[in-house]
């Protein structure tokens, strides 16, 4: 019997499912360590105004300087952080780092003559759905001496739908603190624009999956143009993400898209690279 059981156990651990689970546990452990060892870093990708060319802001994109595997992008670890609730302390670290950076840039005079230059922070569902999220933001602002006007929060459509009872009040609180609220990756979820009109929002970010198919793809053209025109009609600012070519920029701008983010403007950069980039403008 012992032998049979031993074999069963062995087979269990041999399965790829078990391997994945094990890799997740290792990653979870490393993530927690990484947080205490300061291995996380924010990269910044510029966003510019179509009409003036001024910097409207920069999106903060999380990176992990893993001691063995080098610089990791969020796609390599965020899903594990979310599953194990590590996303809460990690997400709060991102907020604090963004607030501290926004303040430092103002102290250094980096933002002078460069438009609003807000730092946009991506939120995870877990963070936003947590009771008292707006209070957390308020505390972070107070601790870091940053103004709400210096920050923007990016939410996904999913987060707004899943939390339909709390979302409107939380969004209103955040905007009262001066923050800009935007919907990220718009067009990929299930929200209708009609639904969005009931929420206090400032901005829509067009998903790069549509932008990348411009200017030639007729389907992407129809969808993107409709989203831009309706959003503008509703008084929302529209940012296109993943803009790689002048042709994409021109087409989007002709429909009324006001802000651009993507390789054409600038790739995500470390804080010091970004600061050099801004000074050179």
What is each CA distance from 255 to 33, 152, 159, 234, in whole angstroms?
47, 24, 28, 14
Interface positions, 206-245, toward ligand C2E (CB under 6 A): 208, 241-242, 244
Number of residues that bind ligand C2E (CB under 6 A): 23
Binds ligand C2E (CB under 6 A): choice among 27, 48, 58, 61: 61
What's the burial of 109, exposed, middle or buried (CB within 10 Å: 0-12/13-18/19+)?
exposed
For the CB of residue 156, give the shortest distance to ligand C2E in the complex, in Å: 7
Does residue number 154 form part of the binding site for Mg ion (CB under 5 A)?
yes
For the CB of residue 155, give the shortest distance to Mg ion in the complex, in Å: 9
Interface positions, 109-148, toward Mg ion (CB under 5 A): 122
**Interatomic CA distance for residues 66 and 244, integer angstroms:** 29
Lookup: tokens for 4: 């049979």
β-strand partners of 152: 120, 180
For the CB of residue 181, give the shortest distance to ligand C2E in the complex, in Å: 14
**Interatomic CA distance for residues 28 and 245, integer angstroms:** 39
Q: Which of 127, 1, 114, 142 is nearest to 47 (CA)?
A: 114
Interface positions, 168-187, toward Mg ion (CB under 5 A): 184-185
Binding site for ligand C2E (CB under 6 A): 45, 61-62, 73-75, 78, 91, 94, 122-124, 154, 184-185, 208, 241-242, 244, 261-263, 268
Binding site for Mg ion (CB under 5 A): 122, 154, 184-185, 241
């Amino acid at each position: 019997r012992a032998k049979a059981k031993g074999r069963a156990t062995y087979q269990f651990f041999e399965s790829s499912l078990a391997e994945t689970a094990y890799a997740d546990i290792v990653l979870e452990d490393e993530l927690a360590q990484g947080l205490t060892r300061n291995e996380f870093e924010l990269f910044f990708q510029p966003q510019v105004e179509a009409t003036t060319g001024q910097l409207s802001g920069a999106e903060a994109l999380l990176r992990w300087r893993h001691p063995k595997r080098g610089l990791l992008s969020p796609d390599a670890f965020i899903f594990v952080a979310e599953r194990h609730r590590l996303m809460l302390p990690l997400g709060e670290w991102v907020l604090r780092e963004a607030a501290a950076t926004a303040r430092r840039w103002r102290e250094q005079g980096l933002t002078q003559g460069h438009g609003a230059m807000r730092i946009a922070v991506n939120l995870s569902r877990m963070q936003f759905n947590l009771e008292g999220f707006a209070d957390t933001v308020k505390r972070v602002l107070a601790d870091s001496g940053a103004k709400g006007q210096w920050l923007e929060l990016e939410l996904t459509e999913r987060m707004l739908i899943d939390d339909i009872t709390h979302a409107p009040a939380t969004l209103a609180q955040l905007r009262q603190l001066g923050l800009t609220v935007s919907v990220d990756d718009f067009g990929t979820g299930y929200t209708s624009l009609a639904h969005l009109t009931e929420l206090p929002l400032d901005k829509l970010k067009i998903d790069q999956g549509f932008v990348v198919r411009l200017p030639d793809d007729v389907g992407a053209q129809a969808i993107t143009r409709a989203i831009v025109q309706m959003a503008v009609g509703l008084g929302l600012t529209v940012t296109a993400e993943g803009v790689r070519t002048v042709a994409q920029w021109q087409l989007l701008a002709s429909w009324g898209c006001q802000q651009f983010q993507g390789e054409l403007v600038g790739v995500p950069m470390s804080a010091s690279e970004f600061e050099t980039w801004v000074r050179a403008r």
